[in-house]
Structure 1
Amino acid sequence: MAEHDDEAVTSSSAVEKHGMTVPSGTAVLPAEPFENPGEPPHRPRRTDVDPKKERLAERQVATFFYISIVGSVLSIAAYIAFPIDSSDFSTVRSANLFLGLSIALALLALGIGAVYWSKSLVVDREISEERHSTRGSDATRSKAVEAFRLADKESGFNRRSLIRNSLIGALVAFPLPGIILVRDLAPAADPNELLRHTMWRKGTRLTKDPTGLPIKASDVTQGSVFHVIPDGLLDKEDKLEEKAKAAVLLMRLDPGDLHPAKGQENWSYQGIVAYSKICTHVGCPVALYEQQTHHLLCPCHQSTFDVANNCEVIFGPASRPLPQLPISIDSDGYLVAQSDFHEPVGPSFWERER
């Protein structure tokens, strides 16, 4: 029969040892204490013992920061020197090449300089800190402030003016290409005016997208939806830009279900209504129509518009209704526009009068 001692315990039921429940059949062995080996011996760097190496490292770090400034300036110069011509694809390649190289140079030099600074000049002695999950006391928080002061002293940020000034210059110069490039994306003209005027004019026929075939009122059955573009759009050189503003959804409801706003009673024809296809949230194409509820859904962010009530927003982030295109019919029975939209189409984040 096996002997049992006090240090190794096995039993047919769970036992409790040292405050923990031990499953049956588990051997409990004594804890063997070990000594803390401590921190490894500190190995000083060349910059810690040789003032010449220290000054050389400082100049090298500053050089990387200055190179970063040069890269930022070059990226702006490349953006100006290599304009993109939409009719010549080679200009896109040239612009992207030189922009990418110069911005990469600016970012890479900034990163290398920061890493080299921390590796060669920032104090690198080992420390041990106890972790805790509770909020520190006021004394601990004051020590944290002191730690920041000590970090500033050890990094030499205020003392090493060459590194500090070159780093500040690199950080100031680096965002400039992004600011210049993003700012130039804005249209030169007033966005409000650009979005206020589309190809729709009095008498312009409504045609199917993408065939360009005109639409008769008799073709539009109740519950149907047509994706519509203005007549003549397919012949324009800038048809994509014009379509982005002039695209329309055409639907037919029971005239009794429509509740037009005051002054817009004659903007529809026998229950046929036309609304801008461009969502007023961020410009996604509204394309999902639910016949029974007369709801239009934008698939991007689920903005929902009520066609029966002037396409008012009933759900989602859109802040205003879809603009309505006034329509009627011509002598041949084809649907035509009465005028252009009476308000700007597209997202509401553009500056506009309400």
Structure 2
Amino acid sequence: MSSQDIPEENLPEEQAAAHGAAGHGGTTALAKRVDDDPFHDPGLPAHKPRIQDIDERAAQRSERTVALLFTLSMLATVAFIACFVIFPVDKLVYIWPFGRVSALNFSLGWTLGAALFFIGAGAVHWARTLMSDVEVADDRHPIEASPEVKAKVLADLAAGNEESGFGRRKLIRNTMFGALALVPLTGVVLLRDLGPLPERKLRETLWAKGKQLINMNTHEPLRPEDITVGSLVFAMPEGLKEDDHNFQIEIGKAALMLVRIQPEDIKDKRELEWSHDGIVAFSKVCTHVGCPISLYEQQTHHVLCPCHQSTFDLSDGARVIFGPAGHALPQLQIGVNAQGNLEALGDFEEPVGASFWERG
């Protein structure tokens, strides 16, 4: 590329002067310098206007195209929600070349993909056809901007906003807002797929007044004499069988541990009232993330969760004395029935296990 191919206004001052002095004849010293320097600044090419810049009808066609793409995104989002409601989880359909696939997953994937694609396509088409495409060169400046630079930036932002037509082209603006507002609904709808609402299931267990405490090892009713000082015994509610289809769910809430403590060593007044002859019953489910508690230290009356080392004092209302657990272990009030077996006098008064949003 020779200096004759470079507009004079884009050349440095000394090169422009030499260019004017050399005229149009032959190869000049300046041209040789430019040819020998592969890193010279050629300047910006002349701006070529687009059809939308000179024809308002073309601009309006582009505006309608962008609005159509945003509208298609909104329709795809509505279709996503409709497919989530219409198709059952177990429905299979044949789709070539994939074979038999889940109708729900297939439809959700395509509709969500379409919703996101049309938003992106609309934004790209808007930028390429209606927003300003004039290239602007700006010299580097110090990191700390001067007041003049700050004022220039604000002016550039205002100019960019004006050139984008965001305020004037209300059709594009409104359809874009609609598409962006509807797309997040896909994520909200997917939350429903986490499972049925728990209702009261997190607050209630199988324990109830009159239910006997069954030894989880012998499957026999527990009697007070079965529990000695220093021992740790695990119990489950009467009527729960290991071959029940919901055994794991129910035992995960109702699992109980019992220890015998000398009544004079029990510090918490309510714990003493809810015990029987020093036998106290607490939930076996750790209040951190729900691990089963299984380690008991007789001298201190502490129990330790093996997962994350949360430690509870069973002589003081099973309060947390160490670790990440958020609250004490719930206590079950117990007594003895006419047959001399230990029984529950009700359910836990608070939810067992880890905390959840609705927990009081």
Letter of the 2:203 partner, please give it: R
Number of residue pairs the alignment of both structures matches: 311
Give 1:198's match in structure 2, choosing from 199, 205, 214: 205
Give 2:290's match in structure 1, choosing from 284, 292, 304: 284
**How far did 1:119 drift?**
3.7
Say which one has the larger Rg. Answer: 2
Match in the other structure for 1:274: 281
**How far did 1:77 drift?**
1.4
Letter of the 1:287 partner, please give it: I
Give 1:81's match in structure 2, choosing from 77, 86, 99: 86
Q: Secondary structure at the match of 2:295?
A: strand
After superposition, residues 76-155 of structure 1 pair within 5 angstroms as 76-84=81-89, 93-124=102-133, 125-128=135-138, 130=140, 132-134=142-144, 136-155=145-164
**How far did 1:341 drift?**
0.8
Structure 1 unaligned blocks of 5 or more? 1-32
Give 1:213's match in structure 2, choosing from 191, 196, 219: 219
Query: Is contact 1:327-1:336 (8 Å) kept?
Result: yes
Matched, 1:179 2:188: yes
Structure 2 unaligned blocks of 5 or more? 1-36, 94-100
**How far did 1:67 drift?**
1.4
Letter of the 1:81 partner, please give it: I
**How far did 1:324 drift?**
1.0
CA distance in 2 between counterparts of 1:214 and 1:102 reads 57
Q: Write out per-residue CA displacement over residues 193-212 of structure 1, whole angstroms, 9 at most, x where no aligned residue.
A: 44333210233244466x79
Match in the other structure for 1:9: none
**How far did 1:328 drift?**
4.3
Matched, 1:343 2:360: no
Query: Is contact 2:263-2:277 (8 Å) kept?
Result: no
After superposition, residues 1-354 of structure 1 pair within 5 angstroms as 37=41, 41=45, 44=48, 46=50, 51=55, 53-84=58-89, 93-124=102-133, 125-128=135-138, 130=140, 132-134=142-144, 136-182=145-191, 191=199, 193-207=200-214, 213-214=219-220, 216=222, 228-234=235-241, 237-248=245-256, 250-252=257-259, 254-255=261-262, 258-269=265-276, 272-280=279-287, 283-287=289-293, 289=295, 291=297, 294-297=302-305, 299=307, 304-315=311-322, 318-328=325-335, 335-351=342-358
CA distance in 1 between counterparts of 2:282 and 2:75 reads 51
**How far did 1:68 drift?**
1.2
Identity of aligned residues (%): 37
Query: Is contact 2:272-2:278 (8 Å) kept?
Result: no
Query: Is contact 2:232-2:296 (8 Å) kept?
Result: no
Query: Is contact 1:195-1:344 (8 Å) kept?
Result: yes
CA distance in 2 between counterparts of 1:350 and 1:131 reads 51
Q: Output the TM-score relative to the length of structure 1.
A: 0.68
Q: Secondary structure at the match of 1:263?
A: helix
Match in the other structure for 2:98: none
Closer, same or farther in 2 for the Cα pair 1:185/1:307, shift >3 Å? same
